[in-house]
Amino acid sequence: MSTLQSQIQRLSRAIEEHRRDLRTLYGDLGKATATDDSPSAQEVLQKKREYEIQEELYQQLTFSLKQFEDRSRKLKQVQKDLKVLSKEKKELCAQLGAIAYEAYGNASYSDELSKTLAPFLAVRKRRNTGVPVFAHLHRRALGRMFLKLGEEILTRHLEEELRSEAREELFKQVREYRSKEHLLGEELALHQSALDQLKNSEVPTPWLRLETYNQSRMKALKAYEEAAIAYGRQMYEHEGDQNPLATQITLHRTRIKQLGGEIKEKQNRIKIQELEAQIEIEKQKIEHIADQIGALRAQIDQLNSAIAKRRTLIRMLEGTGNDG
């Protein structure tokens, strides 16, 4: 019986699969044939338009949010790259500042570079007068001074005046830095501008709105599918197998009927097995009752025999009394 039950379950699953396919085929048939002016066809077309409107709203907002996420991710990457570039800039500036400071007096500088160096020369003067610089100025403070001086030189594009004092590799690094800074700056402005535009065009609480749009489009899609299925079933009943989709529908309906017959046959077999099992139980009850009846009949016979003996004894006793 358990084997039959498992077979019925397998057949039931097969029927459900065919029914799902059948609904899909009815829907496809309904969508393909909803072209006339009948009320049923117009209802399908109306549901389709309603779904397309909801789908477009959902896709537009989805696209905007994806753009926003993509721009935000790229902006963060640019900011990260700029942070790395900032470290490179500090190293370059420290080198430029140290070179300019140490070479002052040994090289001919322009007025602009000389004015840039002027605020830092007081330390140099103390050094020339014999005042111990490193006793007065901590190493870190000196490093910050070189960094600040280098930043001024780099900002004013004065590094070329140090070419005779520094190796070519340093100027190559400066050129690479300026190129990276320019490209990252343009990319940063581009992403920031795009984000600002997206923020201005974005609806309030976009993720909540997206969920609302999704629910609306799924509801509209379901209504469209149900209308198409109903119309497809109607067209199948009226037109038969004239459409290739209708032929497939017929095959699925036939198969469902066959599977249903197999299930009915197996259910009958289960019922027969149950009835046969009940018959066996009842036969066992009959045998048990028959055994009980046999035992009772034996008891009755014993009782009848005892009664007969007692009656015989009574007659004997009555005869003895009469003789006296």
For residue 138, is it within any domain?
yes
Q: Within this chain, do residues 164 and 15 fall inside the same structural domain, yes or no? A: no
What does pLDDT average to over the chain?
85
Last-in-domain residue among 250, 265, 287: 250
Same structural domain for residues 23 and 75?
Answer: no
Does residue 250 contact residue 241 with C-beta atoms inside 8 Å?
yes
Q: Are residues 214 and 102 in the same domain?
A: no
Q: What is the DSSP string of 89-137?
A: HHHHHHHHHHHHHHHBTTB---HHHHHHHGGGHHHHHHHHTT--HHHHS
Structural domain including 179 reads 70-201
131 pLDDT more than 60: no
Instruction: Report the number of distinct structural domains present in the chain.
Output: 2
Section 46-53 average pLDDT: 94
Whether pTM exceeds 0.95: no
- Written as one letter, the residue type at 269 is R
Evaluate whether residue 51 is within a structural domain: yes
Q: Which residues contact 9 (CB under 8 A, 6 or more apart)?
A: none
pLDDT grade for 62, boundaries at 50, 70 and 90: confident
Which of helix, strand or coil describes residue 15?
helix
115 plus 158 within the same structural domain: yes
**Angle at the Cα of 72 from the Cα atoms of 66 and 73, rounded to 5 degrees:** 90
How does residue 162 score in pLDDT terms, banded at 50, 70 and 90?
Answer: confident
Task: Please list, in sequence order, all residues whose beta carbon lies within 8 angstroms of the beta carbon of residue 101, skipping any fewer than 6 positions away.
Answer: 117, 120, 124, 145, 146, 149
pLDDT value at 122 more than 60: no
Q: Are residues 109 and 175 in the same domain?
A: yes
Place of tokens 């602009």: 112
Answer yes or no: is 103 within a domain: yes
Beta-carbon contacts of residue 21 (< 8 Å; ≥ 6 apart): 252
**Do residue 85 and residue 175 come from a single domain?**
yes
Same domain membership, residue 192 and residue 164: yes
Sign of CA dihedral 37, 42, 45, 49: positive
Q: Is the same domain home to 238 and 186?
A: no
Sequence-distant contacts of 99-105: CB under 8 A, at least 24 apart = 99/162, 99/165, 99/166, 100/149, 100/150, 100/153, 100/162, 100/165, 101/145, 101/146, 101/149, 103/162, 103/165
Instruction: Inform me whether the pLDDT recorded for 201 exceeds 80.
Output: no
Whether 277 is in a domain gets the answer no
Same domain? For 58 and 84 the reply is: no
Instruction: Give the domain-ending residue among 132, 167, 201.
Output: 201
Residues 40 and 110 in one domain: no
Rounded CA Rg of the chain: 52
Q: Which of 179, 201, 223 is the last residue of a domain?
A: 201
- Is residue 116 within 8 Å of residue 156, measured between CB atoms? yes
Look up residue 231 and give its two tokens: 């119309």
Q: Does the residue 39 lie in any domain?
A: yes
Q: What is the pLDDT of residue 146?
A: 84
* Mean pLDDT for the stretch of residues 54-76: 87
> pLDDT tens for residues 203-216?
556 778 888 889 99
pLDDT in tens, 307-316: 999 999 998 9
* Alpha-carbon distances, residue 278 vs 22, 45, 271 (angstroms): 41, 59, 10
> Average pLDDT, stretch 120-144?
59
Q: Do residue 163 and residue 222 come from a single domain?
A: no
Is 321 within a domain? no
Residue 75 lies in a domain: yes
Quote the longest CA-to-CA distance of the chain: 182
Residues 195 and 243 in one domain: no
Instruction: List, for residues 223-282, the tens digit of each pLDDT value.
Output: 999 999 999 999 998 876 678 899 999 999 999 999 999 999 999 999 999 999 999 999
